[in-house]
Structure 1
Amino acid sequence: MSVDLQCVVKTRAVLGESVLWHPGECRIYWLDLKAPAVHIYDPATGAAESWRPELGTPMGTLVRARDGFVLSGREGVFKLDMASRRLTRWVDPNDRQEITMFNDGKVDRQGRLWLCTSDVQETEPLGGIYRLDADGHSVIQDRGSACGNGPAFSRDGRILYFADTMMRKVYAYDLDPASGRIGERREFVTFPEAEGMPDGMTVDADDHVWICQWGGAGVSRFTPAGKLDFKLELPCPLVTSCAFAGDDLDTLYVTTATVDMDQAALAQFPLAGGLFAARTGHRGLPEPVFGVG
C-alpha cells in the first residue's frame, strides 16, 4: 500500500496526545500532556499555534462538547472555551485522585464521555474506566489497569475498545448503547514486545481498529476479529494517538512523544514529538460530540 506520510507540525512535544478534528473550524487540536499545552493546526494554511493553560501535569484528554470543549486533567474535568481561553472547573469523577490520574478518553456514539485513569507511577493496576454523562453524573465501569488508554468505539457503538498499555493488551467490551453499561471484557489484541505497547486508537468507516504503538514506531490496523491488516510506519518510536480528519475524513493524523528520550535518541529521530498526517486510502468516522446523542 502506498502511503503519503508527512510531519506537518514539528512541535517536539514531550507527550503529544488526544488528537481530534474540529469539522466546524476545519482545524486539528491536540495536547502535550506534559507541557502542558493545547496545540492547534490549520491544514489549509499550515498555520500552527499553541496555548498553555494553567493546569498541573499531566493533562488527560480533550474532546468536543456541545458548547466548546471538555478537558480533563489532574484537577478534574473542565469546560473549555477556546475563543476566550477560559477554563471552568466542572466535575471530578476520579474517586482515587491521590493515586491515579486521568489519561485518554473518547466520546461514544450516544454522546457520553469515557475517561481512562492510570496509576500515577504507571506500575500498579489501580486505574479504571469512567463513564461521564452530559449532566455530570459519572459511573465507574471497570478497574485493574496501570495505564488505561484508547478508548474507541465500533461503528455501531456496541463495542468499547480499551488498551491496558502496560500489559500490552487491548480488550473489547460489549456496550449497551441505551444504558451505557458494559459487559465482561475479552482479549482483542496482544502486542509482542518488539511491537511496543498499545496507546490511543480510533475506528474507521470499515469498522477496523487503528492502534498506536508506544515503542513500536507505528499505527496498526486490525480487523474486527483482531487480525493485523496493515501497519503505518512512523520515523519515531513513541506513537500516542490518532484520528481521521478532513472534509472526507481521509487523512489520519498521528501524535508522537519525546518523553525520556536522551540526546542521542532525539538526534536519531529528529521528528519525534511532531504531528504527522498520512493518506492511507481509508476513511474514518465522524467523532461524536459530548452531550449530543
Structure 2
Amino acid sequence: MPAAEPTCIVRTPAILGESVLWHPVDKMIYWMDLRTPAIHTYDPATGAADSWKLDLGVPTGTLVRAKQGFVLTGREGTFKVDIKARKLTPWVNPNDRAELTMFNDGKVDRQGRLWLCTSDNQEIEPIGGIYSLTADGKSEIHDRGFACGNGPGFSPDGGTFYFSDTMVRKVYAYDLDGKTGAITNQRLFTEFSEEQGMPDGMTVDAEGGIWICHWEGWRVTRFLPNGKIDREIRLPVPLVTSCAFGGEGLDTLYITTATVGLDAPTLAKAPLAGSLFAVKPGQKGLLEPVFG
C-alpha cells in the first residue's frame, strides 16, 4: 500500500509525549508528557487542545481508562484520576522495586487487567519487570530482566501479549491465559536494527496487525502476526513513542513523539518534535478495554 502521510495536529515540544488514548464517550484524545508531568487533551471535532499540569514526581508512566475516570501511574505508585475535576487520588503501588525502577508504559487487556512495565531508573540494568494489576488492587509480577519495558499490546482475541524490550531492540510475544492472567512461552517476535531505532509503544488493530513506534527511528511500522513487516509510516521527527487508534470510526492512528536528549541541529531538522500526529493508515483499531 502507498505510505500514508501523517499530519501534526497539536504542535507542542513535549519532552516525552506518551500514552496516547482515545475515549469513546468523551470523544477526546488524551496523552501525557512523562518528563514535565501533564495530561494533554485534544478534541478531534473542534481542534481544541488543553493541558493539565500534574504535581507528581518525574517521570510519570501511563494513563488508562477505568470504570470511573482514569488510572495513572507515577513515581509514587498508581492514582485514580478525575480529569474533569482535576483531582488525583493515591491508590496502590505494585512496584516492589520502587527505589530502583520506575513505571513506564502500560495497557489494559481484553479481560480488564492493567499490565504495567517498569524500567531501571537509568535504563541500563535489566531489572525492570512486567506486572498485572486488578481492580481490587491486587498485583502480580510475571517476568523480569528488562532495562526499559515498553508496549504492551494484545492480539484481538486476547491470547497474545506483545512487549518491547527497548534497550536491546527486541519485541517479544507471550501466550496470555485470559482466565488466569498467566503469560508463558516467551518468544522473539521481531528485532530492530540500529537503523530502525528501538521499539517503543504499540497498538494492535482489528485485523491483528501490530503497530510499533520507533524511538530514534522516525517511523511507525505495522507488523503482521507472523512478524513480517507490512508497511511503514514515516514521521518528520526521530523519537516516536506511542500510538493508538481513535476517532468515531477508529480509523485514525494518533502518534506521540518526544524531544528528550535531542541536540540543537536535530531539533532544527525536526521542528515538530514532541508534537501529536495523526494519520489514516487504511486499517481500523479496536476500542481499548476499560480497567476493571
AA of the residue aligned to 1:59: T
Q: Cα deviations across residues 138-172 of structure 1 (Å, max 9, x unaligned)?
A: 00000000000000000000000000000100000
Matched, 1:67 2:68: yes
Matched residue, 1:53:
54
> Cα deviation per residue 1:33-85 (whole Å; 9 max; x = unaligned)?
00011100001111000011110010000000000000000000000001111
Contact 2:3 2:231 in 1 (8 A): no
State the shift of 1:215 in Å. 0.4
Q: Percent of counterpart pairs with the same letter?
A: 65
Supply the distance in 2 between the matched residues of 1:5 and 1:170 (Cα, whole angstroms): 24
Question: 1: distance between equivalents of 2:259 and 2:244?
Answer: 20
SS in 2 for 1:166: helix
Displacement of 1:250 in angstroms is 0.2
SS at match of 2:110: coil
Matched, 1:148 2:160: no
The reply on whether 1:253 has 2:254 as its aligned counterpart is yes
- Which amino acid in the other structure matches residue 71 of structure 1? L
Larger CA deviation: 178-187 vs 144-153? 178-187
Match of 1:76 in 2: 77
Q: What is the distance in 1 between the residues matched to 2:236 and 2:251?
A: 21
2-side partners of 1:184 and 1:52: how far apart? Answer: 41
Q: Distance in 2 between matches of 1:189 and 1:84?
A: 42
Give 1:83-162 correspondences, 5 Å limit.
Answer: 83-162=84-163
Match of 2:35 in 1: 34
Match of 2:276 in 1: 275
TM-score, with length taken from structure 1 = 0.99
Letter in 2 for 1:11: T
The alignment partner of 1:121 has SS state of coil
Matched, 1:187 2:207: no
- Deviation string 1:200-251 (CA, Å, 9 cap, x unpaired) is 0000011010000000000000000000000000000000000000111000
- TM-score using structure 2 length: 0.99
Q: Which residue number in structure 1 is paired with residue 225 of structure 2?
A: 224
Q: Is residue 2:275 matched to residue 1:284?
A: no
Distance in structure 2 (CA, Å) of the matches to 1:158 and 1:197: 25
Question: What is the letter of the counterpart of residue 126 of structure 1?
Answer: I
Partners of 2:174 and 2:4 lie apart in 1 by: 32
How far off is 1:184 after superposition?
A: 2.6
Contact in 1 for aligned 2:19/2:62 (Cα 8 Å): yes
Per the TM alignment, residue 102 of structure 1 is displaced from its structure 2 partner at its CA by 0.1
4+ residue runs over 2 A deviation: none
Is 1:10 the counterpart of 2:11? The answer is: yes
- Per-residue CA deviation, residues 167-187 of structure 1 (Å, 9 max, x unaligned), is 100000000001111103100
- Separation in structure 2 between the aligned mates of residue 107 and residue 2 of structure 1, nearest angstrom: 30
How many Å separate the matches in 1 of 2:235 and 2:123?
Answer: 25
Unpaired segments ≥5 residues, structure 2 = none
CA RMSD in angstroms, aligned pairs only = 0.6
